[in-house]
């Protein structure tokens, strides 16, 4: 179910919580950024069509 | 103004979360819940942590009430209505001292941790979620609890930083009082506003690099990304409840570390240096005790210029609740720490400049009620403050008395000390102003003004002969 809280939590404020959560958190943040990077490369050929 | 016992008054501070809304009916505090919020409330009452927090008096006592008690904003009746325990005097975080804000923060985090342990979270992280019973913080925003969704960080983190963590860091790391900053901005301090102050080696102070600089930078980098998108990405990357708990524990550890070594203030040594003789002090204490105890037991006493709280404590012996107001944050912090160590639940210390009391703030200037709107005391103590206002701050004497009368409930009493112009403290203040600037600052003029606004029932000149105390029933 799509859920949106009444309060805008702030995208950057959500991600930084992973970073401050120690080694495990840093790993989550690294994975998130890696996926974003991979997604960008995957999308590019489609975008250029 | 008399309030009808059945008139329903929506709380002006309760509109941001449409799922629930607070109303006042007479002395009662009620909260209407929409169907989803009502379902969350049912789940909450079935939990273990919530009743335990209420029993420990860390969360305000709440019970079900008939849904017909309050009208719904949309015409659809509320799915449920709750009745909350009444907080004796509502205060705002910019009226708290450093240790008060820190203790309120630690309670918020403790409650969040307990909630997370049972699959709940708090929707927000505002300092305004907390109020006080004397020197004990209490969490009041029952509507904030909701079941957590696995894989999601704390939605209230940014708000917590802005209204709690950044103000604490400002004072702990830079020695700057946070109160004027919080008073100026209802949503608290933005990371971008604070970052320029934490440059150079100050970046290395606890929490600054991560919660302030990295947080601020992340906000910029992700400004275009929606929170829904980021939540999905974090969940897919493996953000877990354990990670969230570790993050909250980290914030808790940081807040616990933030401390303030206050500078010695003029007012912190006031009782020793203010020049009362022992005889004056005894006579004054006796007068105040009798003046507060006279008449029906006061529900609320306001002690204006409370300093070390000597007369607040005295008044607390004869009244239900005392609000001790003092201008100097350092003095209030010291008083708070003492009251906290005593487990005091009936004296609330607040930071407030009497010549510049909290105005209304937030949306339309009513979301956070001004001090004058909240203060309606059965007894107002104005001991050794009139000369500071009338001479030190040039407030005309009639206005000082009108202001005292305005803070008093109908039929209430003002216990006021007039420091004669010959008194050493008044002389010291007068020496800083041109001679003859205050020709009306005289005992007889003061007494005439007082008598015009109420009935002077008791009067005592202190043995030193340079100060007079009055008990006046206002409008009486």
Domain positions in chain B:
8-86, 110-257, 266-474
Residue A6 lies in a domain: no
The answer to whether position A8 is within a domain reads no
Interface test mutation site (partner A, options B215, B221, B223, max chain A beta carbons within 10 A) = B215
Cβ <8 Å between B231 and A14 = yes
> Least CA distance to B156: which residue of chain A?
A9
- A24 neighbors B243 (Cβ within 8 angstroms): yes
Give domain status of residue A49, yes or no.
no
In angstroms, the Cα distances linking B406 to B247, B375, B441, B475 are 47, 9, 21, 11
Is-contact B326 B305, C-beta < 8 A?
Answer: yes
| Structure confidence by residue, pLDDT tens digits, B1-51 | 445 557 888 999 898 888 899 999 988 999 999 999 999 999 999 999 999
Residue A36 lies in a domain: yes
**Each residue of B304-337: pLDDT tens digit?**
999 999 999 999 999 999 999 999 999 999 999 9
Q: How many Cβ pairs within 8 Å bridge chains A and B? A: 120
Over its C-alpha atoms, chain B yields an Rg (Å, rounded) of 24
Name the residue in chain A with its Cα closest to that of B228: A4
DSSP code per residue over B241-303: HHHHHHHHHHHHHHHHH----PPP-GGGGHHHHS---HHHHHHHHHHHHHHHHSSSPPSEEEE
High-pLDDT (> 70) share of chain B, %? 95
Contact across the interface for A13 and B219, Cβ inside 8 Å: yes
Which of B406, B442, B368, B394 is CA-nearest to residue B186?
B368
Q: Whole domain around residue A32: which residue ranges? A: 17-44
How is domain B266-474 classified at the CATH fold level? Rossmann fold (3.40.50)
The shortest CB-CB distance from A17 to any of B123, B154, B229 is to B154
State the nearest Cα–Cα gap between B322 and chain A, in angstroms: 35
- A32, part of any domain: yes
pLDDT digits (tens, 9 = 90+) for B333-369: 999 999 999 999 999 999 999 999 999 999 999 999 9
- Token look-up 């909260």 returns B31
Report if residue A21 sits inside a domain. yes
**Interface confidence (ipTM) of the complex:** 0.86
- Look at residue A38 and tell me if it is in a domain: yes
Q: Which residues of A touch B231 (CB under 8 A)?
A: 14
Q: In which band, very low, low, confident or very high, does the pLDDT at B76 lie, cut at 50, 70 and 90?
A: confident
pTM: 0.94
Chain A: residue whose CA lies nearest to B208: A20
């Amino acid at each position: 179910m799509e859920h949106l809280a009444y309060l805008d939590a702030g995208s950057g404020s959500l991600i930084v919580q992973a970073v401050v959560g120690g080694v495990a958190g840093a790993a989550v943040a690294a994975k998130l950024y890696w996926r974003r990077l991979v997604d960008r490369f995957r999308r590019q050929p489609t975008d250029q069509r | 103004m008399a309030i009808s016992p059945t008139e329903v008054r929506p709380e002006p501070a309760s509109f941001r979360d449409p799922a629930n809304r607070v109303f006042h009916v007479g002395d009662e505090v009620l909260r209407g819940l929409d169907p989803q919020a009502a379902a969350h409330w049912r789940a909450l009452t079935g939990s273990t942590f919530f009743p335990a927090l209420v029993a420990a008096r860390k969360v305000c006592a709440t019970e079900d009430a008939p849904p017909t008690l309050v009208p719904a904003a949309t015409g659809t009746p509320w799915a449920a209505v709750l009745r909350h325990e009444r907080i004796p005097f509502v205060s705002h975080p910019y009226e708290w001292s450093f240790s008060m804000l820190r203790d309120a923060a630690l309670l918020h985090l403790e409650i969040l941790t307990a909630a997370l342990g049972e699959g709940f979270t708090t929707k927000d992280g505002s300092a305004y979620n907390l109020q006080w019973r004397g020197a004990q913080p209490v969490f009041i925003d029952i509507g904030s609890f909701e079941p957590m969704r696995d894989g999601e960080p704390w939605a209230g983190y940014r708000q917590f930083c802005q209204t709690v963590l950044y103000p604490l860091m400002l004072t702990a790391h830079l020695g700057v009082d946070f109160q004027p900053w919080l008073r100026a901005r209802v949503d608290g301090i933005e990371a971008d506003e604070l970052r320029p102050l934490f440059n150079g080696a100050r970046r290395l102070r606890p929490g600054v690099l991560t919660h302030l600089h990295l947080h601020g930078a992340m906000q910029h980098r992700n400004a275009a990304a929606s929170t829904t998108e980021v939540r999905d990405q974090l969940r897919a990357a493996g953000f877990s409840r354990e990670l969230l708990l570790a993050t909250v524990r980290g914030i808790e550890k940081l807040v616990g570390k933030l401390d303030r070594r206050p500078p010695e203030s003029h007012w912190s040594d006031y009782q020793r240096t203010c020049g009362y003789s022992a005889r004056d002090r005894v006579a004054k204490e006796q007068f105040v005790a009798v003046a507060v105890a006279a008449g029906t037991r006061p529900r609320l006493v306001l002690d204006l210029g409370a300093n070390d709280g000597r007369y607040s404590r005295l008044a607390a012996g004869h009244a239900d609740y005392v609000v001790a107001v003092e201008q100097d944050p350092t003095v209030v912090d010291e008083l708070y720490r003492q009251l906290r160590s005593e487990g005091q639940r009936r004296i609330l210390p607040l930071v407030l400049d009497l010549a510049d009391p909290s105005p209304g703030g937030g949306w339309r200037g009513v979301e956070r009620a001004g001090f004058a709107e909240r203060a309606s005391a059965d007894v107002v103590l104005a001991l050794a403050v009139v000369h500071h206002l009338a001479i030190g701050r040039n407030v005309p004497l009639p206005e000082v008395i009108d202001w005292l009368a305005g803070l008093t409930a109908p039929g209430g009493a003002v216990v006021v000390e007039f420091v004669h112009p010959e008194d050493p403290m008044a002389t010291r203040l007068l020496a800083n102003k041109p001679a003859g600037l205050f020709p009306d600052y005289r005992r007889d003029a003061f007494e005439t003004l007082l008598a015009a606004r109420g009935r002077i029932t008791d009067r005592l000149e202190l043995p030193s002969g340079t100060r007079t105390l009055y008990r006046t029933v206002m409008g009486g």
